[in-house]
Every structure is written in C-alpha cells, then in structure tokens.
Amino acid sequence: MEIGPYLMLASLEGAVTAAVLALTAVGLSLVFGVMRVVNVAHGEFFMLGAVLAWWITSLIGGHPALGFAVALLVVPVLVGLLAAAADMTVLKRVAYDPERTIVATIGILYILQQVTLMTYGADARPVEPPFNTRLALPWVEFVGGKLQLYWPWGLSTTSYKLAVIGAAAGVLLGVWWGMTRTKVGLLMRATQMDRDMALAFGIPVERVYALVFGLGAGLAAMAAVLIVPIQQAHYLMGGDPLLLSFIVVIIGGLGSLPGTVVAAILIGLSDGIISVFFSPTLAKILATLLVALVLVFRPQGLFGVRRA
C-alpha cells in the first residue's frame, strides 16, 4: 500500500482507540475533577466491564446483538454500583485524603484483578460483535492529470468500528449535557468548585461523591464493553487503559473535560499513526516521559490555563 491509504487506515484505527480512550479518560477526569482524588483502580473497572460483557453475552446466547445490547445497558450500571460501594466503604473512610486514597485504590486494583483471575481465569476470551460488515474505502490518485477514486486492497474498516466511534461520541455528548444542563450536573459542579461551600448549602456531598465515583467507573466499563468485540477480555487488560487515561488526563489538564477529550483524540490518533513508524514500546516510553515532564514543567496540562 502507498503511504496515503496507509495513513488513513492508521487514523481510522486511531479514531477507534481515541473514542474508547476518551470515554475511559473522561471517567478518570470526572473523579479527579470533582473529588480531587486519583483512582488507580480505574483500569480494573474497565477490565471488569469487558469481563462482565463476556459473561453476559455468553449467558444470553442467541443472536450476538441481543447479548451485546443487554451487556451495554447492564454492565456499566453493575460496575458503577460496585464502584459506588467501594467509595462508601473505603474512600469515604479515609476522608478522601489524596495520598491514602491512592494507596487504598492500589489495594482495590489488586483485589479486583486477582478475584477476576480466581473466577474468570487467565484466558483471553472474545465477544462476538453485534454486526460486523466489512466496508472497503476509496482513495484518490492522479491518472492522466485527473483525480480519480480507486479502492486500494486492504483499505477497509468495519461497520462495528464506525459504530464504536459514533457511540462514544454520543455518550460524551450525553455526559456534557448532563454536567451542564441538569440539576445533578449542577450539584457536581458546585461540589467541584468548593466542597465546603457545597456542604454549607446543603448539597449531599457524600452522595455526590459516590455518584461521581460510580459514574467514572461506569464510563470506563462502557468503553470496555464497546471495545471487547475488537480486543478480547483478559484479567490483565486494565493496565494499558489506566496508563493511557493518566496520560490523557494529565496532558488535557487535570479535571478539565474538554481538555481531556481533545487530548484523548490527539493521543489515540497519534498512537495509531506513531506505531506505524516506531515500535510501540518506544512510543510508550516517549509518551510516559512526556507525561512526567508535562507534570513537572506544565502542571496545568498542555491545554489548561494556569490558575492564579
């Protein structure tokens, strides 16, 4: 293939990564923004989403679309409830102290991961996509001084991948609408701005926290349900999304939702394109170093505005 179609293919794959990453990272960003804590177990909620999706689809059987639809609706709720329970039993009791929360969520990470290993096992298992039509894509070339469409061999995507991108965009719009236009969103934003003031105004801060923590985990789980027909479910799959979400949230500016989405698109796309030219390990080394240096020299993120 020539470089042009090749890049287009990489960007399409990158767009799928970006879509899923944006959902996962927005979950992490929401928790950090409102609660001012870092949830190290975020990747494990993602993993749980994938594993539960496998479980539900294999339980239901029939047409793959049926099981998948049920999973897409039920799994984020289940994972969200579990996360809210973890918030109320653990995080609340360490009073959301930033450092102790990190240690506690590291503990939760191992508990979720290892319990999955004990019950689900160490195998990677696939989930069948609800629909999966191969779509060939055209490219342009000059023939005799004129632009002409042609269909290069291997340049294709699937209807499911496009649906993932669409679904992620839809959910993100929903989150944005919820945060800016609903009463619950208002309560969240008030808590984010000033916890003590929110308490003084009678906002049930503890319930808002449990809700936000559950919502954050639910978004990660939903991202996992969307990706699992492409990627397979495995008990160690939480590491990469956690790392990438960290990168996205930090580069996008801690706690800023629009920044997070922009950074997710940037990282997702460049991840796809960079790995065409570099080894994925080298790309990851550069990305992690970039994040560390951004935190050191530009803690407000690349797109954030420095606070007074």
Ranges within 208-247 binding another protein (CB under 8 A): 239, 243, 246
Ranges within 86-115 binding another protein (CB under 8 A): 90, 93-94, 98-100, 102-104, 106-115
Answer for which of 65, 66, 85, 122 binds another protein (CB under 8 A) is 122
Residue 135 interacts with another protein (CB under 8 A): yes or no: no
What are 136's two structure tokens? 């060939």
Counting residues that bind another protein (by CB under 8 A) gives 42
What are 100's two structure tokens? 């102790």
Instruction: Report the distance separating Cα 189 and Cα 206, nearest Å.
Output: 14
Q: For the chain, how many residues are written?
A: 308
Ranges within 286-305 binding another protein (CB under 8 A): 288-289, 291-293, 295-297, 299
CB of 226 to another protein, least distance (A): 26
Q: Based on CB atoms, which residue is closest to another protein, 50 or 291?
A: 291
Instruction: Report the distance separating Cα 24 and Cα 243, nearest Å.
Output: 11
CB of 108 to another protein, least distance (A): 6
Q: Based on CB atoms, which residue is closest to another protein, 193 or 282?
A: 282
What are 28's two structure tokens? 């992490």
Residue 117 interacts with another protein (CB under 8 A): yes or no: yes
Answer for which of 66, 193, 285, 305 binds another protein (CB under 8 A) is 285
Instruction: Report the distance separating Cα 176 and Cα 170, nearest Å.
Output: 10
Residue 65 interacts with another protein (CB under 8 A): yes or no: no
Up-side HSE of residue 293: CA atoms within 13 Å toward CB?
Answer: 6
Residue 184 interacts with another protein (CB under 8 A): yes or no: no
CB of 112 to another protein, least distance (A): 8
Q: Based on CB atoms, which residue is closest to another protein, 158 or 245?
A: 245
Give me the torsion for CA of 220, 221, 227, 231, rounded to 10°.
100
Q: Letter for the amino acid at 9? A: L
Task: Return the closest-CA partner of residue 157 out of 254, 301, 304, 19.
Answer: 19
Residue 261 in contact with residue 22, Cβ under 8 Å? yes
With tokens 């996509």, the residue in question is 129
Instruction: Report the distance separating Cα 190 and Cα 101, nearest Å.
Output: 22
**Contacting residues toward another protein, per CB under 8 A:** 38, 90, 93-94, 98-100, 102-104, 106-115, 117-118, 122, 239, 243, 246, 250, 279, 281-282, 284-285, 288-289, 291-293, 295-297, 299, 308
